[in-house]
């Protein structure tokens, strides 16, 4: 069974709660309080573990919030490869307003990492005694970490013989793609920022993804489209999955759940179409859970049978995924 390791440079304690109405000045009584370990790669690791697969998570952590984060990860059954830093691990807060069914997300700034701290994360990765088959680098980079951090991870992944999967944005994503990776999972906004194009049409999504693949930047592009589903492009063809109608409770971790399910299936040797279908099911399942709970395995399995994936006649490509 292929091993999976995730990298999260901006971990957080995700706090979620609900209140009847959000109003200024007055104290707001909250209920349904949850505290979960968070951050892109950490969420991916949590979901992979729920699917019954071992997964390790590499992340920097500091202070009493860092100690709490590690305890929460232990409770989730995820092995932590933490690197101690001087500053406290950040926190984030999600509040659900019951009257409007609107979600408010407050993302606090992360600590600034010293050069020796982020370099220690790279050194820890390069010195792994058990080499993973898949590396998942997910989330933003905190202050102090250079834009080419994920590009450096890409070079280490090549030495380890691991397939690198990246879910990020901006300069960090561009640098990773310039180094060359296995799979990239942008949403439409991130792909627009990367290309500088409006990308209004499906044919334009295909062109943008194809350009990345042709340039050797990524072997596979999995584009998430929110309620409109997802679009997958690889050297073997294009697939489109339409969105599923579900009651949305929270958008937290939907993209992470999508990515975790895809990597889980790929690590089992399943087809790209099967992995894509599971990704859509998991991303949709995460929308139906409150706060920062992420997807539930029973919901993913149920929704998997409802996902409709169709081949798209991509120009000059074989639709044979």
The domain spanning residue 42 has which CATH number?
Answer: 3.40.1190.20
pLDDT of 1 over the 50 cut: no
Q: What's the mean per-residue pLDDT of the chain?
A: 93
Contact 199, 210 (CB under 8 A): no
- By three-state DSSP, how is residue 213 classified? helix
* Domain enclosing residue 57, as ranges: 4-21+31-312
Q: Is residue 256 flagged as an active site residue?
A: yes
Continuous segment of H or E residues that includes residue 250: none
Per cent of the chain over pLDDT 70 is 97
Mean pLDDT of the 61-71 span: 97
Q: Is 70 left (phi over 0), alpha (psi -120 to 50) or beta?
A: alpha
The closest alpha carbon to 20, from 102, 94, 107, belongs to 102
Catalytic residue among 148, 167, 256, 299: 256
Mean pLDDT of the 47-55 span: 95
What are the pLDDT digits (tens) for 84-97?
999 999 999 999 99
pLDDT of 143 over the 60 cut: yes
Q: Does some domain include residue 279?
A: yes
Show the tokens assigned to 81: 């490869």
Mean pLDDT of the 180-194 span: 97
What are the pLDDT digits (tens) for 250-265?
777 889 999 999 999 9
pLDDT of residue 170: 96
pLDDT of 174 over the 70 cut: yes
Looking up tokens 């943008």 gives 208
Between 317 and 177, residue with greater pLDDT: 177
Q: Using 50, 70 and 90 to split pLDDT, how confident is the model at 135?
A: very high
Continuous segment of H or E residues that includes residue 168: none
Q: Does some domain include residue 39?
A: yes
Cα–Cα distance for residue pair 45/118, rounded to 1 Å: 20
Q: Does some domain include residue 227?
A: yes
Q: Does some domain include residue 234?
A: yes
Query: Could you tell me which residues come within 8 angstroms of residue 49 by beta carbon, excluding any fewer than 6 positions away?
Result: 55, 76, 77, 78
Q: Does some domain include residue 319?
A: no
Going by DSSP bridges, is the β-strand pair 102-107/90-97 parallel, antiparallel, or unpaired? antiparallel
Mean pLDDT of the 78-107 span: 94
Q: Does some domain include residue 318?
A: no
Alpha helices, DSSP H, located in the chain:
40-50, 63-76, 115-126, 149-160, 170-179, 188-195, 202-214, 254-267, 272-287, 297-304
Q: Does some domain include residue 321?
A: no
Q: Using 50, 70 and 90 to split pLDDT, how confident is the model at 248?
A: confident
Q: Does some domain include residue 320?
A: no
Question: Count of domains in the chain?
Answer: 1
């Amino acid at each position: 069974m292929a091993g999976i390791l995730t990298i999260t440079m901006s971990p957080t304690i995700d706090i979620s709660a609900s209140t009847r109405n959000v109003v200024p000045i007055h104290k707001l009584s909250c209920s349904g309080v949850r505290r979960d370990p968070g951050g892109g790669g950490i969420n991916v690791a949590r979901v992979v573990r729920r699917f019954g697969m071992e997964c390790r998570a590499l992340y920097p952590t500091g202070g009493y919030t860092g100690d709490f984060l590690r305890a929460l990860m232990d409770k989730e059954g995820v092995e932590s490869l933490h690197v101690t830093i001087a500053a406290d691990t950040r926190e984030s807060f999600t509040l659900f307003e019951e009257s409007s069914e609107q979600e408010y997300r407050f993302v606090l700034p992360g600590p600034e990492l010293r050069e020796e701290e982020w370099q220690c994360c790279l050194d820890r990765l390069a010195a792994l005694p058990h080499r993973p088959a898949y590396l998942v680098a997910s989330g933003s980079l905190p202050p102090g970490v250079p834009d080419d951090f994920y590009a450096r991870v890409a070079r280490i992944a090549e030495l380890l013989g691991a397939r690198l999967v990246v879910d990020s944005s901006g300069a960090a994503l561009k640098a990773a793609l310039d180094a060359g990776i296995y799979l990239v999972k942008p949403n439409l906004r991130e792909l627009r920022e990367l290309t500088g194009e409006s990308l209004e049409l499906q044919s334009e999504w295909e062109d943008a993804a194809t350009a990345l693949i042709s340039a050797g930047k990524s072997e596979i592009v999995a584009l998430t489209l929110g309620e409109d589903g997802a679009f997958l492009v690889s050297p073997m063809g294009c697939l489109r999955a339409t969105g599923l109608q579900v009651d949305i409770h929270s958008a937290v971790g939907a993209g992470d759940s999508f990515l975790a399910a895809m990597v889980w299936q790929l690590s089992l040797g399943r087809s790209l179409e099967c992995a894509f279908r599971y990704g859509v099911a998991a991303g949709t399942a995460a929308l139906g859970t409150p706060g920062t709970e992420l997807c539930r395995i029973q919901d993913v399995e149920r929704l998997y049978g409802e996902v409709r994936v169709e081949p798209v006649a991509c120009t000059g490509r074989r639709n044979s995924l």
